[in-house]
Amino acid sequence: MKVIPIINYILAALIFVCYSYQLIYMAVPFIKKKKPYEQSELHKYAVLIAARNEEAVIARLIESIHDQTYPSELVEIFVVADNCTDDTAARARAAGATVWERFDDRQVGKGYAIDFLLQKIGELYPENPFDGYFIFDADNLLDENYISEMNKSFSNGNRIITSYRNSKNYGKNWISAGTALWFLWESQYMNRSRMLLGTSCAVSGTGFLVHRDIIEKSGGWKYFLLTEDIEFSIHNIVNGEKIAYCESAVIYDEQPVRFSQSWNQRMRWAKGNMQVSQKYGARMARSIFKSFSNYDMSMTVSVAIILATFSVFVNLIGIGYELILHGNAILVVRALWESLYKAYFMFYLLGLITTITEWKKIYCSAVKKILYTFTFPLFMFTYVPNTFAAVFAKVEWKKIEHKESMSLNDVREHFI
């Protein structure tokens, strides 16, 4: 059955055509340099943190916010302890945050928690003294200059700004390193390149700043899909907003170390992207010739899922057909193997380049840094069955357990 290998070759060619622009993205940071910011002015910010059973890590995040070089009187920290059954609320209050507790087993998820928090802040400050809102996850840590660097970008007219996403547990194992290396690549070779080329970046989960006008225009935080960050990004991009990237603002977060947790997390991402595609796909498609950002987001959110699902479906049919009719699936498996080793080499190069350029920012031993460039492609391969499964599975929000109670100094000294 030669049709299956032919389809695989066609799919490979289609993927190259759709995503070849990302090769340009990989080259841009080596060719083009960012322009320095003009002199910045001070702004008042609210920090929003949605936390569910995060007693182990919440105080560390608040501590890193208090330790900022930015004037502390211009930063207010607000936490929503969302459906918590532990001491998250008490520990956040003890660390110096204003805390509200929320209990709602019907509207579950970060989007609902952030919207609740904004409502409470509006009641507490009806005059709204805040120029912008930072949104962090409870497991985050901030570089000392994080807010100062983001403020420079904000002062230069950027209304939505995402930041450099690093990891505080990169060296735990190949799973945490896989996710962390992906986010490093996304930061420096997707968002950084987009910023340098003047197109829109995308918010990735945590570590971003939103202008007050954006929040007020939406009437709060009205993004409740499984990937509320992608929904927020796409909503603003299709409505003409441009998301900026601040590479000098570094945030650290904790990645899953168990494959089951990573699988569930990525199932939510895949299903959430499908929801976003269903909601915004038509609008993005109509605008791909008007704005490159819409083409870029279409490729990132929609087309990748379609191609991955179709590829798995076709190969499963081919293998099954050959086994049932001929008792031999060698031709299909051979074509599949050829695609896999080519993909392995591509992902290895991607991980290797990222590891080399970000070497000093990756906090683990040199041996592990090198080792995880080889396991990175294997980690990326698991996205394919994961995405395929998400098409048919009922996916709900599940908490990722965070245990890494580390200070910023702990992260920087953590090489074991």
SS3 readout for 270-323 = HHHHHHHHHHHHHHHHHCCCCCHHHHHHHHHHHHHHHHHHHHHHHHHHHHHHHH
Domain 40-265 annotated CATH 3.40.50.2000? no
pLDDT confidence of residue 320: 66
Per-residue model confidence (pLDDT) at position 10: 77
Place of tokens 């709060």: 220
Determine the pLDDT at residue 316.
Answer: 66
Specify the pLDDT at position 302. Answer: 74
pLDDT (tens, 9 = 90+) of the chain, 416 residues, equals 566 667 777 777 787 888 888 889 999 999 988 888 877 899 999 999 999 999 999 999 999 999 999 999 999 999 999 999 999 999 999 999 999 999 998 999 999 999 999 999 999 999 999 999 999 999 999 999 999 999 999 999 999 999 999 999 999 999 999 999 999 999 999 999 999 999 999 998 899 999 999 999 999 999 999 999 999 999 999 999 999 999 999 999 999 999 999 999 999 998 998 899 899 988 888 888 888 998 899 888 876 667 767 776 666 666 666 666 665 656 666 666 777 777 899 899 999 999 999 999 999 999 999 999 999 999 998 988 888 788 888 888 777 888 878 888 888 886 54
Q: How far apart are CA 9 and CA 143, in angstroms?
A: 45
3-state secondary structure 209-229: EEEHHHHHHHCCCCCCCCCHH
Tell me the pairing of strands 98-102 and 75-82.
parallel
Q: What is the pLDDT of residue 287?
A: 83
Identify the residue whose tokens are 């929320």.
Answer: 102
| Rounded Cα–Cα distance for residues 364 and 162 (Å) | 25
The C-alpha atoms of residue 77 and residue 79 are separated, in whole angstroms, by 7
- pTM confidence score: 0.91
CA gap 160, 203 in Å, rounded: 9
Measuring CA to CA, how many Å separate 289 from each of 42, 195, 236, 268, 282? 38, 19, 17, 30, 13
**pLDDT recorded at residue 149:** 96
How far apart are the C-alpha atoms of 110 and 226, rounded to whole Å?
9
Among the listed residues 207, 205, 184, 187, the one whose alpha carbon sits nearest the alpha carbon of residue 196: 187
Contact call for residues 364 and 414 (beta carbons, < 8 A)? yes
Instruction: Tally Cβ neighbours within 10 Å of residue 202.
Output: 25
Q: Are 139 and 402 in contact (CB under 8 A)?
A: yes
Place of tokens 């009205």: 222
pLDDT of amino acid 342 = 79
Predicted pLDDT at 92: 97
Task: Count other C-beta atoms under 10 Å from residue 108's C-beta.
Answer: 17
Give the model's pLDDT for residue 416.
47
What are the boundaries of each domain within the chain? 3-27+281-392, 40-265
Three state DSSP letters for the chain? CCHHHHHHHHHHHHHHHHHCHHHHHHHHHHHCCCCCCCCCCCCCEEEEEEECCCCCCHHHHHHHHHCCCCCHHHEEEEEEEECCCCCHHHHHHHHCCEEEEECCCCCCCHHHHHHHHHHHHHHHCCCCCCCEEEEEECCCEECCCHHHHHHHHHHCCCCEEEEEEEECCCCCCHHHHHHHHHHHHHHHHHHHHHHHHCCCCCCCCCCEEEEHHHHHHHCCCCCCCCCHHHHHHHHHHHCCCCEEEEEEEEEEECCCCCHHHHHHHHHHHHHHHHHHHHHHHHHHHHCCCCCHHHHHHHHHHHHHHHHHHHHHHHHHHHHHHHHHHCCCCHHHHHHHHHHHHHHHHHHHHHHHHHHHHCHHHCCCCHHHHHHHHHHHHHHHHCHHHHHHHHHHCCCCCCCCCCCCCCCHHHHHCCCC
What local confidence, expressed as pLDDT, does residue 209 receive? 98
Q: What is the pLDDT of residue 414?
A: 63
